Chains A and B, each alone.
Chain A
Amino acid sequence: MAAVATCGTGAGSTGSVVAAGSKNNVTSFQRRGPRASGSDSSYSRLVSIAGTRPSVRNGQLLVSTGLPALDQLLGGGLAVGTVLLIEEDKYNIYSSLLFKYFLAEGIINGHTLLVASAKEDPADILQELPAPLLDDNVKKDFDEDACNHKTAESNIKMKIAWRYQLLPKMEQAGPVSSSRFGHYYDASKKMPQELIEASKWHGFFFPEKSSSTLNIEPCSLTHGYIKLLQFIQNIIYEEGFDGSNPQKKQKNILRIGIQNLGSPLWGDDICCMENGNSHSLTKFLYVLRGLLRNSLSACMITMPTHLIQNKAIISRVTNLSDTVVGLESFIGSERETNPLYKDYHGLIHIRQIPRLNNLIYDVSDVKDLAFKLKRKLFTIEWVQDNYLRQERNIYPPGFSYLLKQKDSAWGEGSLQHSTFLMSFLAKETAFASRLVRHSEPLEQTGSGRALQAAGPRLWRDGRRQEAPGLLVTPP
């Protein structure tokens, strides 16, 4: 089971952790604020930003990605000032869903959004966001057992099964509480219009902006990337997310979402040609990261890496991003028919997690992760070992089975013993177990004196009889 040490889903611990990192104290809980500014006043104002919490490990300010399951795998959330790169699945179904979760989380928390796309108008993207799961609906959908964890502390991880950790703590029925860190979304419903209108967002739709002139000399970046960088830098400066604008004191996070970066719609040809403009995308990522590091913002980028012809670019892009998550859906692949994966829709690979302000990082021990989109929830689970899973389907643990070991008589055993042999003995064992229960006293036919299970007639006349050997061959 994954041993990720995270807090529960409550966000009540922000105050106590910040108190540990006072102005000149250099404990490991030192908050890393807007990285350019060294002013100590930034510490106090960062406490009260909605939708963020400090990381347990190093006091890093984290925001939720919109998927509590993914937050736990990334060590608590996405660090402010970093880039999360999602490698898209083949048909861009689940990556666009993750993109929408990220934006929806921003709206619920009241963050400012910046949506950039070359394919869809950002206004349309915002209309399609999933609705948050309200608390009274949640009670109907989840099991009653899970509801009883209302009074459990957030630290009971080993007792609860892994799956129950993903369920939210029950709170009083009411409107969606924005003080919680991660929220659950219903992919089948749309976000209410009033929430979208109440939110602050900026959209960048490349086909609309491509006609305006450049006021930067042409470097090797493509036109689209230059305009996008200028747009982002403008918003960060104008709205005061980097603390450099004296008129604006910003207490909010800017969530930047860039869709399908690197696709030909942005004017980049790395997906079309092997020897395309190989530096445009990497330069863009470098300057973007420079912008993010100095401001209160977090960015999610989806990139169709399966289309990039030159594999060297993918490794360079990975090195230039902070967190990299790859999605692989089973649609159209041979894994769709594999019985091991029949409950799941795809695999999720955590390719890179950054080591920020630290030599070590939070990494889960579980590497084989699969995701599925149930009616409403996007869950990520550990895919068990293939052999063991099939075994447990045929031979549920807790029962006892007859085992035949080489050259000896039948004996009774349970699943823990010689699991390996049982797959060879499937039919005979099942047969034999029925015979034990209903048979007449057995004659000894073999020569072995192996220990036998005590059958119903073994004790006869107060004296133990010889254990029978082989069973009577069934007709």
Chain B
Amino acid sequence: MFPELNNLLNTTPDRAEQGKLTLLCDANTDGSFLVHHFLSFYLKANCKVCFVALIQSFSHYNIVGQKLGVSLTVARECGQLVFLEGLKSSVDVFFRAQAEPHPLQFLREANAENLQPLYEFVREALKPVDDGEAAWRCPVLLVDDLSVLLSLGMGAVAVLDFIHYCRATVCWERKGNIVALVHDSGDTEDEENNILLNGLSHQSHLILRAEGLATGFCRDVHGQLRILWRTPSQPTTQRDRSLTYQYKIQDKSVSFFAKGMSPAVL
């Protein structure tokens, strides 16, 4: 996790909030550093994490996690982390018919209706253990990323339904959190993606949006992060709080600064 981002969001691993949906969004840039942040944040906060990693392999997250101070292999072995590696499982699902329903079942089907097997997997993974010992703090579902599900043949409505079911189970029933990454396609007219993004934006409590700079590539400022706090359950009589920062990604951390105040410029 990045300490500077924790300061901006005003959280620490000890007092992580519960029952929240956080939406990560990237436009014209790569927002995967936010995924790495939340993964290490919740692992350090002693939460049980179910990570649906559809876009990269386990060793990628593991190596970056080690730079940020968590070990995914240890977490997986002791049961804190349930990792669904999309790339590896897709090969298994695609080439060999599986005996029992697999979370990525829709890869084999021509017209998959919904993501129910995936939801069942998540529900099973984040089931509270009843053996009496002090378990993990709260369940967390982390998805990287939801736009890939659209590329794999699911409709935007099916993905929204999946998130809705997960919210009902994880956020409301078990008082956990959900963090999901969606790509913003910008000016290319990807309607399904826009439906998904708009739908999720209205449901989420916190939106972190990483954008590329409008003026193009810069070596010292990699992009701009917009943070928006929302209260979806209450009517919006009060204004949602919003902050904008620019950031530069370094080897083991990300430094944030106010717009125009990059250390390289000052």
> Which residues of chain A have a CB within 8 Å of any CB of chain B?
26, 28, 30, 32, 35-36, 58, 216-220, 229-230, 233, 279, 282-283, 286-287, 289-291, 293-294, 311-312, 314-316, 319-320, 355-360, 363, 365, 367
Contacts and interface: CB of A to CB of B under 8 A. Distances in A.
22 contacts: A32-B60, A35-B88, A58-B63, A219-B109, A219-B153, A229-B95, A289-B87, A290-B89, A290-B90, A293-B87, A293-B88, A294-B91, A312-B188, A312-B192, A319-B151, A357-B59, A358-B63, A358-B251, A359-B33, A359-B36, A359-B251, A360-B249
A32 B87 contact: no
B226 interface: no
Contacts of B89: 290
Contacts, number: 118
Interface string B86-120: 11111100110000000000011111000000000
B248 to A, nearest CB: 10
Nearest to B248: A360
Given A28-B63, A287-B90, A359-B251, 11 more contacts: A35-B58, A290-B86, A290-B91, A293-B87, A294-B87, A312-B188, A315-B185, A315-B186, A316-B150, A320-B148, A358-B251
Contacts of A36: 88
A319 B31 CA distance: 12
Contact of A233 (B67, B91, B111, B216): B91
Contact of A220 (B64, B110, B219): B110
Nearest to B194: A312
A332 B228 CA distance: 48
Q: Which of B32, B58, B107, B252 has the most CB of A within 10 A?
A: B107
A294 B217 CA distance: 33
Given A312-B189, A357-B59, A290 B252 contact: no
B130 interface: no
Given A219-B109, A283-B152, A315-B188, A357 B60 contact: yes
Chain B residues touching A, majority SS: helix
Contacts of A315: 183, 185-186, 188, 190
B11 interface: no
A320 B148 CA distance: 8
B94 A229 contact: yes
Given A219-B107, A312-B190, A357-B59, A230 B95 contact: yes
Contacts of B109: 219
B57 A35 contact: yes
Contact of A279 (B90, B151, B191): B151
What size tier do the contact residues of chain B reach? 35 or more
Contacts of A358: 63-64, 251
A287 B57 contact: no
A92 B73 CA distance: 46
B151 A294 contact: no
A312 B150 CA distance: 11
Interface of B: 30, 32-33, 36, 57-60, 63-64, 66-67, 86-91, 94-95, 107-111, 147-148, 150-153, 183, 185-186, 188-193, 216-217, 219, 249-252, 254
Contacts of A294: 57, 87-88, 91
A283 B107 CA distance: 8
A470 to B, nearest CB: 45
Given A30-B63, A282-B152, A367-B217, A355 B30 contact: yes
Given A312-B190, A319-B183, A355-B32, A286 B151 contact: yes
A398 B215 CA distance: 34
Chain A residues touching B, majority SS: loop
Contact of B252 (A218, A219, A293, A359): A359
A356 B62 CA distance: 11
Q: Which of A32, A58, A287, A365 has the most CB of B within 10 A?
A: A287
A355 B31 CA distance: 11
A27 to B, nearest CB: 10
A28 B65 CA distance: 12
Contacts of A216: 94-95, 108
Given A286-B90, A291-B91, A293-B87, A360 B30 contact: no
A356 B108 contact: no
A320 B153 CA distance: 14
Contact of A311 (B86, B87, B188, B249): B188
Nearest to B250: A360
A293 B92 CA distance: 13
Contact of B148 (A26, A32, A286, A365): A286
Q: Across chains A and B, which 10 residue pairs bring their CB atoms closest together, nearest first?
A: A312-B190, A282-B151, A290-B87, A279-B153, A357-B63, A290-B91, A290-B90, A316-B151, A311-B188, A315-B188
A320 B183 CA distance: 12
A314 B187 CA distance: 12
Nearest to B190: A312
Given A293-B88, A360-B249, A320 B151 contact: yes
B189 A35 contact: no
A365 B183 CA distance: 25
Contact of B110 (A30, A218, A229, A357): A218
Nearest to A234: B95
A370 to B, nearest CB: 17
Q: Which of A229, A230, A311, A315 has the most CB of B within 10 A?
A: A315
Contacts of B91: 233, 287, 290-291, 294
Contacts of A229: 94-95
Contacts of B33: 359
Q: Which of A218, A229, A291, A363 has the most CB of B within 10 A?
A: A291
A365 B63 contact: no
A359 B252 CA distance: 7
Contacts of B216: 367
A360 B254 CA distance: 10
Contact of A26 (B66, B150, B250): B66
